[in-house]
Amino acid sequence: MKKKEFKAESKKLLDMMINSIYTNKEIFLRELISNSSDALDKLYYLSLTDTSLKVNKDSLEIKIEIDKEKRTIKIIDNGVGMTRDELETNLGTIAKSGSELFKEQNDKQKDMEIIGQFGVGFYSSFMVAKEVEVLSRSIYESDANLWKSSGEDGYTIESSKKDTNGTIITLYLKDNTDDNNYDEFLETYTIKRIVSKYSDYIKYPIKMEVEHEEEDKDKKKKTVKKEETLNSMIPIWKKKKSEVKEEDYNNFYTDKFYDYEKPLRIIKSEVEGLTSYQALLFIPSHAPYNYYTKEYEKGLMLYSKGVMIMDKCADLLPDYFSFVKGIVDSLDISLNISRETMQEDRQVKLIARNLETKIKKELETMLKDDRDNYVKFYEAFGEQLKYGIYSSYGMNKELLQDLLLFYSSKEDKLITLSEYVSRMEGDTIYYASGESIDKIKMMPQVEEVIAKDKEIFLLTNYLDEFVIKTIGEYQGKKFMNVSDTNFDLSSDEEKENLKKINEENKDLLALMKTVIDTNVKDIRFTNRLKNHPVCLITDGEVSLEMEKVLNQMPNGEKISASKIMEINEAHPISKKLQELYKNNDKETLEKYTKILYQEARLIEGLSVENPSEVANLICEILSK
Ligand code: ADP
């Protein structure tokens, strides 16, 4: 029998397929099962119009048989089958578009999941098989044909016999190598795993004989073979919400997404129109251990017609909602989609946009009706929302700002910006930031605000202040750090008084300034402190907290906040300084200044710059 060559294009493609190294060879089974499922579909639809075809819908099925001795896998269906001509055209060429895409992709061989995104179909069997036989009988013929190929060197077709319509594909597995153990595909559990991973929702049963241990009458164990259906057929997201118990959704989530806790929220969405899809999304109750690292991969599972085409489709989720898990099933997405074409795909974009709105709505509902869980959510993923605002330079602020929570000094819990604004007076939203709530509450400036019965946000997350700066203004209200030089709650009279004090002590302050000239921009007396002798405030964009954060960043430029030291004019230290100045004791005044400045740094949670010098100075003064 004469061997026929594959068409030139197919040949090249086949060659690439066989000789490239892919990690997920297992998808060959998905492709063959999908083909069988298509063949069953075709038969069923033909039977709707052609009454001569007697088809019992319940008999349509796919079977998998493994033979360990012969090292073969058979995929069997009772679908439409193929005529000789069809075998020739269908299996002798590869769809052109598919091959183009494949070539494009193949330049980047490092992308391991390459095949996972293609409907390269039938040819993927050559990744695991050294020889493939296709025995097929068309529904319209009584004879069958056998197509055979061992890859690159072409194929043969000969007449054959088969009792019923349909197709039997036999794969003769490749020999094992050091790198590849093809025998694994002869294990029942491997087949079960692959079917449930990719083909669980194929709507026809996928059956296989599976060995079970049973006890006979005499309690002797023996192995019996039983036919099992490997796929669950109807995906949970295709079932009506009323038909599914919450527990089923939860189990589905924990199984599919390897979580040990049930999700906080389940989002179900079904859309028909410009694009049609079903989505089943989950908001986890806690962040995965690697969530805030580079290792974490966002994405939703993408299915097309019940077949999984991508495990983690990143383009369906914006970064700020990267915590969402779930599944999207769409008729409109082609099996041929790749990671590269994904971003360009209109359908994917449309679905992604819809889902974003849906997720946002769900979070808003949770915030409104289920506050405790929302706080739980926020504690796990709030940082990601903040990052979403900050990293987009505020582009997403309208979308995300109302989902943020900050700690309120008044309520001692997390509240929203709108809750703050709803009960505020004036047009300034106050905040202070530091390491912990307790530490911030003890900050001199904060004490003053709380004493005056004003609400203030206490910010402890390193991103908080950056986010607030990015938001800039909320409902026309400006934000102000109480450590900022512009912050002033005093009355006009108090202001006037203070001005006078500073004026009178101008020379003293100027002298002190020369001592710590490189560290501070200014030194002055203040009336805002209660018990503390000194404090540091900042002038300009960078606050002390921001300075700390920025300077911790690897490779970041060292950044310094513009600092002003304020001395409590009502504190005894103030009199002492004035006295030293009057007595012209410059030397002691210098020492006092150095100590006071380091003390101010300590109060603000900054480190002492030159500990041993300061320690010696303190001791010297104590000894006097
Ligand atoms: P695709 O499925 O993407 O069209 P394939 O290379 O997987 O590409 O298959 C090529 C064609 O071969 C199919 O479109 C179909 O017409 C035919 N075919 C493959 N497997 C079967 C089968 N089990 N029964 C009937 N026809 C099949």
Residue 551 — very low, low, confident or very high, per pLDDT cuts 50/70/90? confident
Of 124, 130, 131, 133, which is closest to residue 177 (Cα–Cα)?
130
Q: Over 50: is that where the pLDDT of 49 sits?
A: yes
- The reply to whether ligand 1 has any atom less than 6 angstroms from the CB of 121 is yes
pLDDT band of residue 114 (cuts 50, 70, 90) is very low
Instruction: Check pocket membership of 165 for ligand 1, CB cut-off 6 A.
Output: no
Decide if pLDDT at 106 tops 60: no
What is d(CA 351, CA 69) in angstroms, rounded to the nearest whole number?
48
- Nearest-atom number in ligand 1 for the CA of 98 is 3
Please tell me the distance from the alpha carbon of residue 137 to that of residue 167, in angstroms, as a whole number. Answer: 6
Would the CB of 119 count as within 6 Å of ligand 1?
yes
| β-bridge partners, 155 | 4, 149
Largest Cα span, the chain:
120
Instruction: Quote the pLDDT of residue 116.
Output: 36
CATH 3.30.565.10 fits 10-229, yes or no: yes
Q: Where in the chain is the domain with CATH 1.20.120.790?
A: 492-539+560-624
Please measure the distance between the N-terminal and C-terminal CA atoms of the chain and give it in whole angstroms: 113
pLDDT at 526: 93
pLDDT, position 307: 80
Euclidean distance between CA atoms 371 and 368, whole angstroms: 6
Name the residue type at position 178. Answer: D
Average pLDDT over residues 319-341: 82
Architecture per CATH, domain 236-370, reads as: 2-Layer Sandwich (3.30)
Interval between CA 25 and ligand 1 midpoint (Å):
19
CA of 170 to the centre of ligand 1 (A): 15
Residue 115 — very low, low, confident or very high, per pLDDT cuts 50/70/90?
Answer: very low
Residue to substitute in 14, 27, 84, 90 for testing ligand 1 pocket (most ligand atoms within 8 angstroms of CB):
90
Q: What token pair was written down for 268?
A: 């179900």
The pair of three-digit structure tokens given for residue 455, joined into one six-digit string: 């609400």
Q: How far is the CA of 588 from the centre of ligand 1 (A)?
A: 93
Confidence of residue 136 (pLDDT cuts 50, 70, 90): very high
- pLDDT bracket for residue 188 (50, 70, 90): very high
How is the beta sheet containing 221-229 ordered, strand by strand? 155-160, 144-149, 129-137, 166-173, 72-77, 62-67, 206-215, 221-229
Position in ligand 1 atom list of the atom nearest CA 166: 24
* Closest by CA position to 285, among listed 263, 255, 307, 305: 263
pLDDT of residue 88: 87
CATH of 492-539+560-624, one of 3.50.50.60, 1.20.120.790, 1.20.58.340, 1.10.150.120: 1.20.120.790
Residue 340: the pLDDT is 61
Tell me if 138 CB under 6 Å of ligand 1.
Answer: no
Say if CB 614 and CB 596 are below 8 A apart.
no
Q: What does 451-474 look like in DSSP terms, one character per residue?
A: HTT--EEEE-STTHHHHHHHH-EE
100 and 143 in contact (C-beta within 8 Å)? no
36 lines ligand 1 (CB under 6 A): yes
Sequence ranges of the chain with CATH classification 3.30.565.10: 10-229
Mean pLDDT of the chain: 88
pTM above 0.85? no
Which residue minimizes the CA distance to atom 20 of ligand 1? 35
Mean pLDDT over 141-146 rounds to: 96
**Burial of 243 by CB count in 10 Å (0-12 exposed, 13-18 middle, 19+ buried)?**
exposed
**478 pairs with which residues across the strands?**
428, 473
Give buried/exposed letters for 589-614 (b at 16+ CB in 10 A, else e): bbbbbbbbbbbbbebbbbeeeeeeeb
CA–CA gap between residue 276 and residue 284 (Å, rounded)? 26
Confirm if 277 and 313 have CB atoms less than 8 A apart.
Answer: no
Residues carrying CATH 3.30.230.80, the chain = 236-370
377 pLDDT exceeds 70? Answer: yes
Residue 542, pLDDT score: 87
Rg (CA), the chain: 36
Separation of CA 37 and ligand 1 centre (Å): 10
The model's confidence at residue 550, banded by pLDDT at 50, 70 and 90, is confident
**Contact at 8 Å (CB) between 446 and 434?**
no
Q: Which tens digits make up the pLDDT trace of 391-435? A: 888 888 999 999 999 999 999 999 999 999 999 988 999 999 998
Mean predicted confidence (pLDDT) in 489-513: 93
Residue 236 contacts residue 249 (beta carbons within 8 Å):
yes
Ligand 1 site, residue 90, Cβ cutoff 6 A = yes
d(C-alpha 343, C-alpha 392), whole Å: 19
Whether 355 contacts 269, CB under 8 Å: yes
The predicted-structure confidence for 260-278, as pLDDT tens digits, reads as follows 999 999 999 999 888 889 9
* Segment 481-510 mean pLDDT: 92
Alpha carbon distance 500, 429 (integer Å): 30
pLDDT at 582 over 60: yes
Q: Is the pLDDT of residue 552 over 90?
A: no
DSSP state of 430: E
Kindly indicate the confidence band of residue 110, based on its pLDDT and cuts at 50, 70 and 90: very low
